[in-house]
Structure formats: C-alpha cells, structure tokens
Chains A and B, each alone.
Chain A
Amino acid sequence: MKPRTLFEKVWDAHVVRPETDEAPAVLYADLHLVHEVTSPQAFSMLREKGLRVRRPDRTLATMDHSIPTVRKNGRFEISDDEGRTQLDALAKNCADFGIELHALGTEGQGIVHVIGPEMGATHPGSTIVCGDSHTATHGAFGALAFGIGTSEVGHVLATQCLLQRKPKTLEVRVDGWLKPYVSAKDVILAVISKIGVGGGSGHVIEFTGSAIRALSMEARMTVCNMAIEAGARAGMIAPDGTTYDYLIGRPRAPKREAWEHALRGWLRLPSDEGAAYDKSVTIDGSALEPMITFGTNPGMSIPIRGEVPDPERVEGEQARAGLAKALRYMGLQGGKKLLGHPVDVVFIGSCTNSRIEDLRAAASVLRGRKVAAGVRTLVVPGSQQVKREAEEEGLHHVFIESGAEWREPGCSMCIAMNGDIVAPGQIAVSTSNRNFEGRQGKGSRTLLASPLTAAAAAVAGRVADPRELGS
C-alpha cells in the first residue's frame, strides 16, 4: 500500500461516500461539539424541516462565548437580553433533542475546545467538528478537527455527516529544541509569520519535528489551535506516548479492553515513512525567541526584542499599504521596538492558552510580584475543571495577591461578547488567538503573546521580555 500521512489515514477512515467531480465526499463526524452562538439557526432549521438529531450521543454542548465570567453574590448575571436568549435557546434545544449540555454554572462547563480534551472525548484518529474555527485545537491528539459554518452544523445534527473536498497536506516541521521561556505560543506565532495568514489555505497542517514531539499535550493544543490563523483547514500532530498518557483514565477515554483495542489502531496512525505532503516548511526551533504581534492579524509578529517592520521598507504596494494601515490602527511606528511600550490590559485566557499549564506559567511570573498600577489584568481559566485544579494548587492566591482578577471560565475578552472588553484605543497583551481590529471590543488594540510574556507585561506595565524578570 502507498505510504499515507496521518491526515490521509484519518480522512480515508471516515469517508462514507468518496468524492467525485460532481460531488464532494460524504465525511462522517465522530464527535460534534456545539455552543450557543453558532447553533440556534441550525436547530431552527431542524424544526422547520421536522428532522431529528441523528446521533445525540455523538453531540456535546457547552456555553462559553456569551456568558459572564463573574458572579455577583454567587450568581451569574448575564449582561444583556440577547445573550440570555441565546443561552436559553441552547438549553431548550439540547433538552428537546436529547443532547448533553454543560450549562453555565455546572461543573463540566468551559470553553468548548478545553472541555472536549479534558473529558477525554477527543480521541486520536477521530473526526471532530464544531461551529467554531478553533476546532483545530483537537488536532493535537491526531484527530482531524475543523470548524464549520452554521448550515453545516445543521447538516451534522441531521446526518452526522458533511460534504467536504479533500484538502491538501502541508508539513510544518519544527526541528531542534526550544530555549527556556520559548513556548508553544511562540512556535505557532513564528510559523504563521513565516507562512502568512493565508499560507495554509486549502491545506491540513501536520506539525512534526523534535520541537513538536517534545511538547506536552496542552502545548500541542496551543499549536494546533492557531492552525486556522494560518488559514489551514486543520492542524494535526501524530499521537504518541504523551498523547496516551494524557488520555488514559479520563472519563470519556475508552476503558480496559476498549482502550487496548483503540490503542492498537492509534499506534498505526502516524504518517508512514515516505508519505508525501503537498508542501513542506521547516523551522529551526532552537532559533526561536518569545514572540509578540504588532499588527492586526496573527501573521504580523516579531521576536519580543525585535523592531516593528517599517512600511517604507516593505516590497509591494499592497503589502506596504496593509502594514501602514495596521500600524495606524495600532498606534505604532515602524522601525521601533515594541519592548517598553505601555499596556493597559493583560488578558490571560482563551482556548489557546487557558489550560492549567498556561496558568502555571503565568503564575510563575506573577508569584511574589505585583501587577503594575493601572494595568487591568484578567485571568480566565478555560473550564471549571481548570479553575478547580488551579485553586487546589493555590494559583488563584498568586493571581489575586498580584492584583489580577481571577474569573469564572469562558471565552471572555478573547471575543468580547460578554461585557469583558478592552476599551477603544486601549492596548492589551493577550494570550488569545486573534488581534483583528476590534476583536477585543470596538477600537481595541491587541498584542498576542504567550502566558509568560503576557504576565511579564502585567508586572512591568509595558511590553517586557519574560527572561528579564527571571522566575
């Protein structure tokens, strides 16, 4: 048999009907994750057409995008009626169609891409879809996981399948070993800056190389999470011992014989020797520095001590205009360093960096230090479970004593739909994934960075190199 890549193996195993010129493949989704923002119209469509959910047992819902992350007197207060309507709609839809829901205030609730893996619902070799572009996160387990639109949410609810053309493959190999203070977030920012925000378009990225293999599961999730920011359909990492150690014993991981059986299949998933990718890119992981973005898309990043590029020196009229526009929006000047630039807000959270290791990293910087005066710092765990773990370890004390706000889990300031916003003109260092204009609130300016770099900025009150603070 022809050597196949990880992606091809997972794809082939889920094709119900092969693609032809006339029609895309019918692809089976093993797991469908649902949240309140992109699902109501899909459920309405089911009702209009009198359809049922084909596999409620393969569907899992949570509330994350438009929920508050503070309790007042122990209760959540939803900031507006529209948000409440959306949450009520999800609760009703899940009840009516028999779907498991992790509602606001329940112990399994959290950001959709954080709870899937922590429950052990994300399995190697499976297909996972969700009406959310960061579904790519689950690819860290060697799953084929991608974001879909609301129409497709309806398709999957009704048939557990969707119509897909087979994407191409792109290998991103990160060789060498990361230096101290260089994290998964820095790796993926460097990758996107190299291949561009459209560089992965039409492709599924497989991340390979020694620097990737050495990453923990949580760090691998950070990498795959942002594959979409390079325009890729999905990001994947071959499962290995790290994957199985993470998964075993989690509530929804297979048990006993089922585990043995599944494991035998998973061991065959890694790309075969000699398997061909449509494209390959190599990066020297040993040369990477902590990264930070300066512009209005995740491809616009520099090493923390580097200079913001000068539009005058950029080739090509469109590229120059794009850079100039981004810098105007950000209020930054080309040719200058970002280091030392004052910041107003620090946000530690989102499906990119809100897991326990991320919080530990942030706490390692904040421990025994104070957040600079005037810098609003939010620490938002990715799930109720992450929150419990952090509190068991006492991390919440570190955050609170430093002067940061310790919140309830949710998407929060990553998408600013719930009242957690960065004010117009303010500049935030954020561990989230998008620095688009207005992403964190109208007129907000975002610098994306790792939890270490974000926490260093909180302490310094300016863009800072986490290596300078020491641990």
Chain B
Amino acid sequence: MEAIRRVASRIVVLPERDIDTDQIIPARYLKTTGSKGLGQWLFTDWRRDANGRPRPGFPLDDPRAGGASILVAGSNFGCGSSREHAPWALFDAGFRAVVSSSIADIFRANAAKNGLVPVVVPVDLHEAMLAAPFSFATVDLESMTVALESGKTGSFSLDRFARHCLMNGLDELGFLIEQQPLIGAWEAACER
C-alpha cells in the first residue's frame, strides 16, 4: 500500500444519505476472484440507464469531476454489506478519501485497509462540503484537518492506528503476524 499523507483535489458530491454498498457496486459485479478493475462498475446503476448509456448530470461523470480523488457523501455512507469490492471500486476509480458526517463501521474499516481515507467530519463542515460540489479541498492526515476552497477548515476523526497505517503505507497484517507468539500462548492457555 502506498503511504498517504495528504489528499488534495476537487470534490465530487453525492448528497444522498445511507448510500449502501449495493449502490457503490451491485452484487452482480462481485463474481470476480481479483480486486482490480472494479472502478468501471462504481455506482453503475446510478450512472447508467437501462441501456447502459450514461445518465446526464450524474456528478461522477461531470467534466469537472475529472481527476477528483475526494468523494463527499451524505451521512451513513457505505451501509449494508461487508463487500470490500466497494472500497476497491472507489480506489480503482481514483478516489483516495471519502468524506461524510458518518461512515458505516465495516466500510470504514475496509476503506482504511485499501488506501482510501475514511474522513468523518463534523456536521457543519459536512454541510459546507455538500453545498460546494467540484470545489477544491485538502484532507491532511498530518494535521487531521480538512481545508476548503472557501477558506473554511475543520478537523476530522480517524482511528489512530488506521491513520498510522495509512500514513506509512503499512498493512495491518504485518502487525498481526508480529503477535503470533502471543496468539500461540493465548491459544495454549485456553486449550489447557
């Protein structure tokens, strides 16, 4: 995983609340045994009509969204299934941060493990971002702040361990592997 200290780009806004993982990537695209190339199916049923043609006006396909790496979504983003395909698809489509006033537990954990920063911001900052699609924003993991083009800034919350892993490009598995002797001792104590 690449180390990530700062994400700076235009923001794409999907203001809907409770966006579930079936919208992020529908189940019919989960039949893969890999994790790459899923970006093409990101929000596909919202993006394309019944004939597969792009729906005009969908924010992700707006020319101003080109190169955007920050998604701002309504509250309780990522609810529903545990599919890691959801953060894989977002990452593959170029996103490096997802901002909301609340992010569902499993999605938040999955995102952080895949170089996609789950950024939980206070309600006022969230509303300011929802109201400023395609404006410029910076998410800074060093200072744990979000800065908007308008000059508004605010802090965000992120688990310290997740932040450490993201900023140093570390994989949680490495940490767990180091715990193996402890795990072995624990197992032995339980099974005695």
Contacts and interface: CB of A to CB of B under 8 A. Distances in A.
Interface of A: 16-17, 21-24, 26, 28, 37-38, 40-41, 44-45, 49, 54, 65-66, 80, 82-83, 85-86, 89, 131-133, 147-152, 154-155, 158-163, 165, 167, 197-198, 201-202, 231, 233, 297, 299, 318-319, 321-322, 325, 415-417, 424, 434, 436-439, 442-443
A323 to B, nearest CB: 10
Contacts of B30: 37, 65, 417
Contacts of A443: 45, 50
16 contacts: A22-B164, A26-B179, A26-B183, A49-B173, A65-B30, A148-B106, A149-B84, A154-B173, A158-B176, A321-B16, A322-B74, A415-B27, A417-B27, A434-B80, A437-B23, A438-B45
A151 B82 contact: no
Contacts of A415: 27
Interface string B94-124: 0000000010111001100110000000000
B82 A133 contact: yes
Contact of B109 (A54, A152, A434): A152
Nearest to B176: A159
Interface in B124-140: none
Contact of B82 (A40, A66, A85, A149): A149
Interface residues of B, number: 50
Q: What 9 A-B pairs have minimum CB-CB distances, sorted nearest first?
A: A82-B31, A149-B110, A198-B76, A40-B33, A147-B82, A149-B84, A150-B84, A436-B22, A151-B113
Interface string B71-85: 000111001111110
B176 A161 contact: yes
Nearest to B46: A437
B165 to A, nearest CB: 10
Interface of B: 15-18, 20, 22-23, 26-28, 30-35, 45, 50, 74-76, 79-84, 102, 104-106, 109-110, 113-114, 159-161, 164, 172-173, 175-177, 179-180, 182-183, 186-187
B30 to A, nearest CB: 5
A162 B183 CA distance: 11
A41 B35 contact: yes
B26 to A, nearest CB: 5
Given A28-B186, A163-B175, 6 more contacts: A26-B179, A83-B31, A165-B159, A319-B17, A434-B80, A442-B50
Contacts of A197: 18, 76, 79
Given A149-B82, A439-B22, A155 B176 contact: yes
